[in-house]
Amino acid sequence: MNLFIRDARLPDQTDPVHISIQDGRIQAIGAGITLTDPDIPVLDAHGLAATPPLVNGHTHASMTLFRGFGDDMPLMQWLQTRIWPAEARLNEEDVYWGARLACLEMIRSGTVAFEDMYWHFHGMARAVEESGLKAGVGAVMIDVAGPEQGQACRKLTEKTFEESSRYSNRVRFTLTPHAIYTVSPESLRWTAAFSERHDLPVHIHLSETWHEVETCLKNHGVRPAVHLDRQGLLTPRVILAHGVWLDDEELDLIAARGATLVTNPVSNMKLAVGGVFPFAKAAARNIPIALGSDGAASNNTLDLFQEMKFLALIQKHAQHDPTALPAHQVWEVATGAKAPQLGQCAQLTVGAPADLLLLRHHEPEMTPEHDLISNLVYSATGHIVDTTIVSGRILMQNRMVPNEEEIRREARERAQRVCSP
Amino acid sequence: MNLFIRDARLPDQTDPVHISIQDGRIQAIGAGITLTDPDIPVLDAHGLAATPPLVNGHTHASMTLFRGFGDDMPLMQWLQTRIWPAEARLNEEDVYWGARLACLEMIRSGTVAFEDMYWHFHGMARAVEESGLKAGVGAVMIDVAGPEQGQACRKLTEKTFEESSRYSNRVRFTLTPHAIYTVSPESLRWTAAFSERHDLPVHIHLSETWHEVETCLKNHGVRPAVHLDRQGLLTPRVILAHGVWLDDEELDLIAARGATLVTNPVSNMKLAVGGVFPFAKAAARNIPIALGSDGAASNNTLDLFQEMKFLALIQKHAQHDPTALPAHQVWEVATGAKAPQLGQCAQLTVGAPADLLLLRHHEPEMTPEHDLISNLVYSATGHIVDTTIVSGRILMQNRMVPNEEEIRREARERAQRVCSP
């Protein structure tokens, strides 16, 4: 895809620049560059700021169908009476439309890449393919029912992996064992071997609740990260979601193994897990860190602009320090600059994939502009995103996304059906 | 002001209704009512939800000029090197334009009434008058410099009170002693007497930081609420901002006296005061509670839709309970339904002032709609507000506010000047 963006402002500069995109990559940036090929479309970005896009390190996209379906309930009652019965009714088309709604929401709030974990791989993968976004997609693995379920899961994973070649490279096949308390050591070890053999990323929940830590200590005699490491599943290919209760020893281990941590502040607060992700300790060990929204059922939005503010504020609150996690650091985390494993280029530089946002940085809530990044983290919402571009392709311009009406209607109807007893 | 709103949806109903407004009040609501006078303007609200507006119980509106000016700094360094020098350069026109920007932001995010505390009363009052909003406005009182400053403050308050009669009843003159650590007992007692004599509301910071509690114990031998009560300043006319560190005895006292508490979750977290407002204990005592944004310098937005989510989530987190402070209760607090002292009618009922919002409840982040109030609290931002109406007068329609461009430009220029050394 080729595109010439005229007169965009970069966050650290006052004079506007032009951005030339060729074959989906940034070919040149500067005030002096000119459009040489009259056939290349021109995008007028006057009054807009160009920034890297945001990256969602942990979500269950199709759970948009369950947004607001049983908020404020005790966890087990919510799962048993609302989520599980509804999930049992989900088919691949439901997952597809739920994911389309999630992708629509992400495009509108400036997220271009995400790590997903859910059922019905092909529903999810098709939605990513058609939306124009990038995602790590997996077929979730749970084998609490015993060895037969484990075998079926592993077989499904192998089959799905083969089938995943039908998608473009925007769909990255990912191994998604659910968690240490829902996946057997045997299946975890199998996942580790499969990941190594095919060089595949792994995405798993870890240390979300204190109950998980206690159960792991009781069943395995060690804390969650140590247990995972013993199954061979702490590697640079592994993405660990939550990590609320990790202790110093576990953080040392994760740092040594090179795994990535994803913090989900809104979900952790909404479900009242009690603890706060040990950001300062993880950052001090140079552990790669990304930001995640978790699913819409426990958030309830996928807007990472809002999530950035929660990240900064819960860390300041928990550390009793207003200087903790300043805005510029939050911005780095949310754009994926601190988590190279997520594969997103967080810099607008020549040669990088042309993934970028054009932002309405003059909105009233962004005025005055003493510090654009401060405004982005503490005052903006996803609604300031005017234009979302992936690999030079415009997914939204002037806040208009094609097929929005159809996606909202289909998702609404399917949500109603799967949530009706 | 007369207006006929056609086809709006109410939160608890599925079929649309019409709303007839006469002389600034709701005259009728229902599906069956008709427009009798062809001269009354008609507003088509098809696809929009009508709700009560939000009320901001504590802010310093003109501090929008300092949005993002020194975030993430230690408190005293921030005040001494940034805020105080800049405030010393503020004139009445600066305060006026900062407040116009704040009012613009509030209109755009569905807040129609607020309690303010700042310098240059007339700058603030003019901005409220011209914006069309409603506000409690005061001339802030601080007499740390000694008895002469106290006398000057009291004189200024008397003079300002007299002058305040020049404004409409949308500007409610309010006594605004800053806090117990910046106002002498003598001036607090004078404020109590003046409030009683003229039946005026009082708006004061209370128990925001632990340092305030310690200092009060050291200087007066009692905790802040007790000290305030001893000066006669706990009455049903009094609005107490923050209240983070109130203990059981103080809450009993506040409940007995009928004062109103305003919680400011974002500001408390951003400035890392350490504690969390004791919501459950205050609510159990039937203390009136409202929601506040505090000033934009410590938030950095005035969008109460975002603030609602912070309120719910920090309470769930602090109470280790996902069922704490459910969405419907948060909505009541944010609309002022729990704080009658703030004077805002939180119900769309016949005879009530025609203050209301029309919301874009079909936006992608509001889809599906299992529960509209859940969506409003956990997923919405102020950007879903389509139309803001005060006393039947349309302040924003289709997200367009008159003079927006001029307000942004003036505020930007003035912010630059007052923040330049």
Chain B residues whose beta carbon lies within 8 Å of the beta carbon of residue A364:
101, 104-105, 108, 404, 407-408
Do A160 and A262 fall into the same domain? Answer: yes
> If you count residue pairs, one on A and one on B, with CB atoms under 8 Å apart, how many are there?
212
Q: Determine, yes or no, domain membership for A263.
A: yes
Q: Measure in Å the smallest separation between the Cα of B61 and chain A Cα atoms.
A: 12
Residues B387, B249 share a domain: no
Check B101 against A367: CB less than 8 A apart: yes
Q: Which of A313, A314, A408 sits opposite B367 (nearest CB)?
A: A408
Contact B69 A317 (CB under 8 A): no
What's the predicted TM-score (pTM) here? 0.98
- B240: three-class secondary structure by DSSP: strand
Indicate which CATH number applies to the domain containing B29. 2.30.40.10
Res B344: pLDDT? 80
CB-CB: which of B75, B309, B381 is closest to A322? Answer: B75
The CA distance from B65 to B333, in Å, is 28
Chain B residues within 8 A of A127 when measuring between CB atoms: none
Task: Confirm whether A415 is domain-assigned.
Answer: no
Count H helices, E strands: chain B? 15, 18
> Does the residue A413 lie in any domain?
no
Nearest to A322 among B270, B362, B365 (CB): B270
Out of A101, A310, A370, closest to residue B367 by CB: A101
Do B323 and B390 lie in one domain? The reply is no
Report the alpha-carbon distance of residue A103 to residue A107 in Å, rounded: 6
Q: Are residues A185 and A251 in the same domain?
A: yes
CB contact under 8 A, A310 and B306: no
Task: Identify all chain A residues contacting B66, using CB atoms and an 8 Å cutoff.
Answer: 370
Task: Note the pLDDT tens digit of each residue in A61-90.
Answer: 999 999 999 999 988 899 899 999 999 999
Contact criterion met (CB < 8 Å) for B72 and A322:
yes
Q: Which residue, B358, B328, B294, is CA-closest to B60?
A: B294
pLDDT (0 to 100) of residue B343: 79
Interchain contact, A381 vs B379, CB within 8 Å: no
Nearest-CA distance B313 → chain A (Å): 5
Which residue from B257, B251, B253 is spatially nearest to B237, judged by alpha carbons?
A: B257
Domain, as residue range, for B73: 54-342
Q: Could you tell me if residue A409 is inside a domain? A: no
CB-nearest to A67 from B313, B379, B408 is: B379
Is there a domain that residue A411 lies in? no
Closest Cβ–Cβ partner in B72, B312, B404 for A327: B72
| Segment-wise mean pLDDT, segments of 10 residues, chain B, 421 residues | 96 92 96 91 97 98 96 90 93 98 98 97 98 96 96 97 97 98 97 98 98 98 98 98 98 98 98 97 98 97 98 98 98 96 88 97 97 97 98 98 97 96 79
Using a CB-CB cut-off of 8 Å, the residues of chain B touching A312 are: 270
Contact A378 B68 (CB under 8 A): yes
- Comparing CB atoms, the residue among B269, B319, B323 nearest residue A316 is B269
Q: Output the pLDDT for position B14.
A: 87
d(CA A238, CA B75): 39
Which of B378, B404, B410, B414 is most worth mutating to test chain A (most A CB atoms within 10 A of its CB)?
B378
| Domain stop point among A312, A342, A372 | A342
Query: According to the model, what pLDDT value does residue A346 have?
Result: 87
B67, B76, B268, best to mutate vs chain A, most A CBs in 10 Å: B67
pLDDT for the residue B334: 98
Whether residue A1 has pLDDT greater than 90: no
Give contacts of A296 with chain B, Cβ < 8 Å.
379
The verdict on whether omega for the bond into residue A278 sits within 30 degrees of 0, i.e. cis, is no
Q: What pLDDT was estimated at residue A76?
A: 87
Closest-CA residue of A relative to B301 is A379
The domain spanning residue B331 has which CATH number?
3.20.20.140
Residue B409 lies in a domain: no
Which of B289, B324, B342 is where one domain is finished? Answer: B342
B188-227: per-residue pLDDT in tens? 999 999 999 999 999 999 999 999 999 999 999 999 999 9
CA-nearest of B26, B4, B6 to B16 is: B6
Please indicate, yes or no, whether residues A291 and A383 belong to a single structural domain of this protein: no
Residue among A65, A319, A325 minimizing CB distance to B368 = A65
| The two three-digit tokens of residue A218, written as one number | 């009781």
Environment class of A197 (CB within 10 Å of its CB; exposed 0-12, middle 13-18, buried 19+): exposed
Chain A residues with beta carbon closer than 8 angstroms to that of B309: 266, 306
Chain B closest CA to A235's CA: distance in Å? 32
> Given this model, what pLDDT does residue B99 score?
98
Tokens of residue A16, six digits: 């506007």
Q: Which residue of A has its CA nearest to B273?
A: A320
- Among partner residues A274, A323, A411, which is closest to B73 by beta-carbon distance? A323
pLDDT in tens, A272-308: 999 999 999 999 999 999 999 999 999 999 999 999 9
Binary contact (A300, B371; C-beta < 8 A): no
Interchain contact, B383 vs A383, CB within 8 Å: yes
Distance CA B222, CA B228 (A): 10
Pure H helices in B16-91: 75-78, 84-88
Which residues in chain A have Cβ-Cβ distances shorter than 8 Å to B386? Answer: none
User: Residue A210 domain-assigned?
Assistant: yes
Same domain, B35 and B65: no
Q: Check residue A298 and give its pLDDT.
A: 94
Whether A345 shows a pLDDT value over 90: the answer reads: no
B54-59 and B260-263 beta bridge pairing: unpaired
Q: What is the pLDDT of residue A275?
A: 97
Domain boundary residue, one of B342, B360, B380: B342
Q: Which residues of B touch A270 (CB under 8 A)?
A: 312-313, 316, 322, 378
Distance CA B323, CA B330 (A): 12
**Residue from the list B66, B270, B303 with its beta carbon closest to the beta carbon of A365:** B303
Give percent of chain A above pLDDT 90: 95
Same domain membership, residue A143 and residue A95:
yes
Mutation choice for A interface testing from B78, B111, B381, B386 by most A CBs within 10 A: B381
Are B310 and B376 found together in one domain? no
What's the domain count of chain B?
Answer: 2
A362 chain-B contacts, CB cut-off 8 A = 408
Question: Which chain A residue shows the shortest CA-CA distance from B299?
Answer: A378
pLDDT band (50, 70, 90) for residue A91 = very high
Q: Do B360 and B321 belong to one domain?
A: no
Beta bridge partners of B394: B389
- Give the pLDDT confidence score for residue B61 in this predicted structure: 98
Residues in chain B within 8 Å Cβ distance of A370: 66-70, 415, 419
Please judge whether A375 and B300 are an interchain contact, meaning their C-beta atoms are less than 8 angstroms apart: yes
Chain A residues in contact with B101 by the CB 8 A cut-off are: 364, 367
- Domain assignment present for residue B418? The answer is no
- As a whole number, mean pLDDT of residues A371-395 equals 98
Q: Do B266 and B376 fall within a single domain?
A: no
CB atoms near residue B38 (< 10 Å): 6
Rounded Cα–Cα distance for residues B32 and B181 (Å): 57
Q: Do B404 and A364 touch (CB under 8 A)?
A: yes
Rounded Cα–Cα distance for residues B317 and A346 (Å): 31
Cis? peptide before B219, omega within 30° of 0: no
Is A368 in contact with B415 (Cβ distance < 8 A)?
yes
Examine the domain organization and report whether B9 and B123 are in the same domain. no
Nearest chain A CA: its distance from B318 CA (Å): 7
Q: Are A385 and A396 in contact (CB under 8 A)?
A: yes
Q: Inter-chain contact B371–A69, Cβ cutoff 8 Å?
A: yes
Q: Which of A370, A375, A404 has the highest number of chain B CBs within 10 A, making it the mutation to test binding with B?
A: A370
Same domain for B254 and B373? no
Q: Dihedral through CA B148, CA B153, CA B155, CA B158, nearest 10?
A: -160
Most distant pair of Cα atoms in chain A: their distance: 68
Nearest CA in chain A to B108: A364
- Quote the crossing angle between the two packed helices B404-418 and B92-108, to the nearest 10°: 130
For chain B, the straight-line distance linking the first and the last C-alpha, in angstroms and rounded, comes to 46
